[in-house]
Amino acid sequence: MLKREQINAYAGLGSNLGDSRLQLQSAILSLSRLPDTLLVRQSSFYRSSPFQADGPDYLNAVVHLQTRLNACDLLRAFQDIENLAGRERPYFNAPRTLDIDLLLYGDGIIQSPWLQVPHPRLRERAFVLLPLHEIAPQWVAEAELLKLQDQVICKLE
């Protein structure tokens, strides 16, 4: 059986309930342990105000993965990690212990009822674009960052 080629994938992580730093650290460790997947790089953590949502401030990060998993299997793995972190979905954009979004999957475009890649709101959110720009500046134009400069976000040490 032939192995699938490795795909560069980028995932956005966020948390605003519980110990958000620990949630993100645990999630990144879990992502690094996925089968046929290598954690290439992770961004710094960023604190941001909720965007089109409510609740406490979020901690966010972006990771670069190389994977042989197809996009559907990768999404399922993300959801399993979220569920283990106690993720609940009582309503759209509810505060969360952990959220993992598939932002980019190679240069592919996926349109299905349950998965859209590139992520449909990727270019609207400073909490995604700034950490993505940190680890993969080729995916983010400076003009895109300028458009979002009114969104409150700060890089953590």
Residues serving a catalytic function are 87, 96, 99, 101
Longest dimension (CA), the chain: 51
Question: CA nearest 105: which of 62, 71, 54?
Answer: 71
CA distance 96 to 89: 8
Q: In the chain, which ranges are continuous DSSP H helix?
A: 20-32, 71-84, 126-135, 142-147
DSSP string, 73-105: HHHHHHHHHHHHTT---SSTT---S-EEEEEEE
Side chain identity, residue 87: R
